């Protein structure tokens, strides 16, 4: 009868442990609320661009090949090459894989651990131990060897959700790392595009400056001839020589800036600067109009915001882990195998042995006093959650600021570009008129030089603003978190471009490539548990 009562009580204990395993002590997680405006401050009159469409995606899906809106095959090639070879991307992927492995390691705690072992023990009992065991006085103790081979099954019952909350925290950590990877990838794509457009803007400026250098060199030659013939004074000759030298110095300074930008682009592509060369390709056209969309969708598209939210959820789960430390822990152990004093008899049926329960220590442990350690750990968990909430709110504010900054720059750069283009065109006409008046002797050479200076400065400023407009367009796309793609109903005509110059032969580039994370294993496809 007692045997059946023992089995019934064991069944009740196991059932209770199973029920308690489904519990969690973590607080109910809720995303902080924000007063999100209906529209962006800088986009209230903005009209959505026809050749753009929003991409519906979850955090782990592709964010769209947004750079294709610029209709530039060379940029497409560079973006794919960077996604395949950039070392920061490889490091981010490795961090995601580390987080996934940590999640799998913790998930293994849901199942028992099984260990196999063997041992050989040579023992010499004392006479006192024989007498304690009941042997007659004077019995001589003999040394013996005990061989054993056994397996040990251990399992810690998750009574109050410690394992469950730890798994939840690690899952959220992995989500945060994946979102961080998306953020790193988006930053890389934006950096490649911005450095690319910076190079092209410098090439446009260099083209203008090189033309000026050639013109001033010709002016020096003409002025020297006039000076030799007595038609011009030495002051005009030295002024022409000075302007020629200044334009050469400006060209050298521009070449230095271009070299640094080219080296930065090479590193983004995963190349040493000596292995990469970008042929001159002046920037033309105007950047595309980018619709900002709705502020309510920004929090869903920004990967850095998603990473901050996942980190906050992980900190919330770790509060449950800290709370579970105040409650008992239950460890179940079973041992079975063989033992014998002779090796040949070790695996005989008569040598079998088994034990249920803890051999050392206790199965059920209830913490009583630890000098405040668990309270301190709980306070630390709450503080970590408070920090994560503050970081999340700050990241949201930064996200809205980034969008508003880029929208304001887009609007103001467009207006500035229009005014600067007018200034450049007017300066060119003024220069033509001054040169005609100088040829008939109405003005002196100083006015010609001053007109050329104004025309060059206005032209260079226009080229710089054009480059800033393209760069800011990329910044706006990055601020919006990607999530846009080229409308398939829009016909895009790709400009014929000169070939990309790379000193070492590189493998063919797939312009449709998109770097992504390796797929999750079946064990990682888990659903985040609801708090009960």
Give just the sign of the alpha carbon dihedral 270, 274, 279, 281: positive
CA gap 253, 176 in Å, rounded: 43
**pLDDT tens, position by position, 207-231:** 999 999 999 899 899 888 888 888 8
pLDDT of residue 156: 84
Instruction: State the pLDDT at residue 368.
Output: 86
pLDDT at 391: 94
Quote the DSSP letter at residue 151. Answer: E
Mean pLDDT of 388-405: 93
Domains of the chain: 24-85+161-328+378-521 (1.20.1600.10)
The tokens describing 197, both together, are 């457009």
Provide φ and ψ at 360, rounded to 5°: -130, 140
Can you give the pLDDT at residue 513? 57
Q: Assess contact for 399 and 299: CB atoms under 8 A.
A: yes
Task: Give tens-digit pLDDT for 67-118.
Answer: 988 999 999 999 999 999 999 999 998 999 999 898 888 888 888 888 888 8
* β-strand partners of 144: 123
pLDDT at 15: 43
What is the pLDDT at residue 426? 94
pLDDT for the residue 361 = 65
Per-residue b/e over 354-391, b at no fewer than 16 CB within 10 Å?
A: eeeeeeeeeeeeeeeeeeeeeeebbeebbebbeebbeb
Question: Which pLDDT score is estimated for 425?
Answer: 94
- 145/122 Cα distance (integer angstroms): 4
DSSP SS3 for 440: coil
Neighbouring CB atoms inside 10 A of 68's CB total 18
Residue 357 pLDDT > 80: no
**Cβ atoms of residues 462 and 420 within 8 Å:** yes
Q: pLDDT band for position 44 (50/70/90)?
A: low
Fill in the DSSP letter of residue 415: H
Return the number of other C-beta atoms located less than 10 Å from residue 283's C-beta. 21
H helices of 69-161, in order, are 73-85, 87-107, 127-132
Which pLDDT value is given to residue 108? Answer: 82
Q: Which of 10-24, 49-63, 375-389, 489-503 has the lowest mean pLDDT?
A: 489-503
Mean pLDDT of 50-54: 49
Tell which wins on pLDDT, 59 or 319.
Answer: 319
């Amino acid at each position: 009868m007692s045997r059946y009562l023992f089995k019934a009580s064991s069944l009740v204990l196991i059932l209770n442990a199973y029920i308690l395993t489904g519990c969690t002590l973590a607080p109910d997680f809720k995303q902080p609320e924000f007063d999100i405006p209906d529209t962006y401050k800088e986009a209230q009159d903005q009209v959505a661009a026809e050749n753009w469409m929003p991409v519906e995606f979850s955090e782990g899906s592709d964010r769209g090949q947004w750079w294709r809106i610029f209709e530039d095959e060379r940029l497409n090639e560079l973006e794919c090459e960077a996604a395949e070879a950039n070392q920061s991307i490889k490091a981010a992927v490795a961090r995601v894989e580390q987080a996934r492995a940590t999640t799998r390691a913790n998930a293994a705690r849901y199942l028992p651990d099984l260990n196999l072992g063997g041992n050989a023990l040579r023992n010499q009992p004392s006479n006192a131990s024989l007498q304690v065991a009941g042997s007659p006085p004077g019995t001589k103790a003999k040394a013996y060897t005990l061989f054993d081979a056994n397996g040990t099954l251990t399992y810690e019952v998750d009574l109050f959700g410690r394992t469950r909350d730890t798994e939840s925290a690690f899952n959220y950590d992995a989500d945060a790392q994946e979102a961080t990877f998306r953020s790193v990838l988006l930053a890389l794509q934006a950096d490649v595009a911005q450095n690319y457009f910076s190079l092209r803007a410098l090439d446009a400026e260099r083209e203008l400056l090189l033309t000026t250098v050639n013109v001033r060199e010709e002016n020096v030659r003409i002025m020297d001839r006039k000076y030799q013939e007595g038609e011009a004074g030495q002051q005009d000759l030295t002024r022409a020589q000075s302007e020629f030298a200044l334009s050469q110095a400006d060209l050298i300074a521009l070449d230095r800036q271009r070299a640094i930008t080219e080296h930065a682009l090479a590193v983004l592509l995963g190349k040493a600067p000596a292995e990469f060369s970008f042929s001159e390709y002046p920037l033309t056209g105007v950047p595309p109009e980018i619709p900002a969309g709705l502020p309510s969708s920004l929090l869903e598209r920004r990967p850095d915001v998603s990473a901050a939210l996942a980190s906050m959820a992980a900190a919330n789960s770790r509060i449950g882990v800290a709370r579970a430390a105040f409650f008992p822990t239950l460890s179940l152990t079973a041992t079975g195998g063989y033992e014998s004093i002779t090796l040949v008899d070790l695996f005989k049926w008569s040598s079998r042995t088994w034990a249920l329960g803890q051999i050392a220590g206790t199965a059920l442990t209830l913490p009583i006093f630890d000098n405040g350690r668990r309270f301190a750990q709980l306070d630390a968990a709450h503080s970590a959650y408070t920090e994560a909430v503050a970081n999340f709110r700050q990241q949201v504010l930064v996200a809205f600021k980034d969008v508003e900054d880029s929208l304001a720059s887009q609007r103001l750069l467009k207006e500035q570009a229009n005014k600067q283009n007018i200034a450049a065109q007017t300066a060119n006409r003024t220069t033509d008129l001054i040169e005609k008046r100088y040829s008939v002797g109405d003005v002196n050479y100083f006015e010609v030089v001053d007109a050329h200076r104004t025309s060059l400065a206005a032209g260079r400023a226009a080229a710089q603003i054009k480059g800033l407009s393209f760069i800011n367009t990329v910044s706006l796309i990055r601020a919006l978190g990607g999530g846009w793609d080229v409308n398939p109903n829009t016909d895009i005509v790709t400009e014929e471009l000169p070939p990309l110059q790379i000193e070492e032969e590189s493998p063919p580039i797939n312009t449709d490539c998109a770097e992504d994370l390796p797929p999750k294993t079946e064990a990682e496809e888990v659903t985040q548990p609801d708090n009960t």
